[in-house]
């Protein structure tokens, strides 16, 4: 009981923190993206992925809806929408 507690790495993927979003969720419009990777760099959750222009998107299983990617995007290509309407608005 008092020995070291050893845990296999990368186990946190089991925690779906996306359930924490209460107000807003980001929408990656994928129109004017210039692949500057600022959203990848700033995401505290490390859940934004993409390789080329207009392919960046976040993993809604983990996104907590903090809105930093929308704040940092120089092209305003990421917008925050109300959680329930995220699918309807274009």
Partner 1 sequence: METDTLFKPGHTACAGCGQAIGAKLVIESAGPNTIVVNNTGCLEVFSAKYPESAWNVPWIHSLFENAAAVASGVEAALIYLGKKANTNVIAQGGDGSTADIGLQALSGMLERGHDILYVCYDNEAYMNTGVQRSGLTPFSSATTTSPVGAKSFGNIRPKKPMPEIALAHGIPYMATCSSAFMQDIQRKIKKALSIKGPKYIQMHVPCPLGWRHESELTLQVAKLAVETGLYPIVEYENGVLISKGEITPKPVEEYLKVQGRFKHLLTNPEAIKQIQDIADYNIQKYGLKKEG
Least distance (Å) between residue 8 CB and partner 1:
7
Residues 78 and 43: their CA atoms lie apart, in Å, by 13
The smaller minimum CB distance to partner 1, of residues 54 and 59, is found at 59
Sorted by sequence, the CB contacts under 8 Å of residue 60 that are 6+ apart come out as 18, 25
The smaller minimum CB distance to partner 1, of residues 54 and 64, is found at 64
Q: 53 near 35, Cβ under 8 Å? A: yes
Least distance (Å) between residue 43 CB and partner 1:
8
Least distance (Å) between residue 23 CB and partner 1:
10
Report in angstroms the alpha-carbon separations of 18 from 36, 47, 57, 66, 83: 25, 10, 14, 11, 11
Residue ranges that bind partner 1, judged by CB under 8 A: 5, 7-17, 20-21, 37-38, 40-47, 49, 59, 61-62, 64-68, 70-72, 80
Least distance (Å) between residue 88 CB and partner 1:
22
């Amino acid at each position: 009981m008092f020995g070291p507690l050893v845990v296999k790495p990368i186990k946190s993927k089991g925690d779906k923190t996306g359930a924490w979003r209460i107000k807003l969720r980001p929408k990656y419009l994928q129109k004017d993206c210039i692949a500057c990777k600022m959203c990848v760099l700033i995401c505290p959750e490390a859940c934004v992925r993409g390789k080329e222009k207009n392919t960046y998107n976040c993993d809604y299983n983990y996104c907590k809806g903090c809105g930093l990617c929308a704040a940092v995007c120089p092209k305003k290509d990421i917008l925050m929408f109300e959680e329930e309407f995220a699918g309807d608005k274009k």
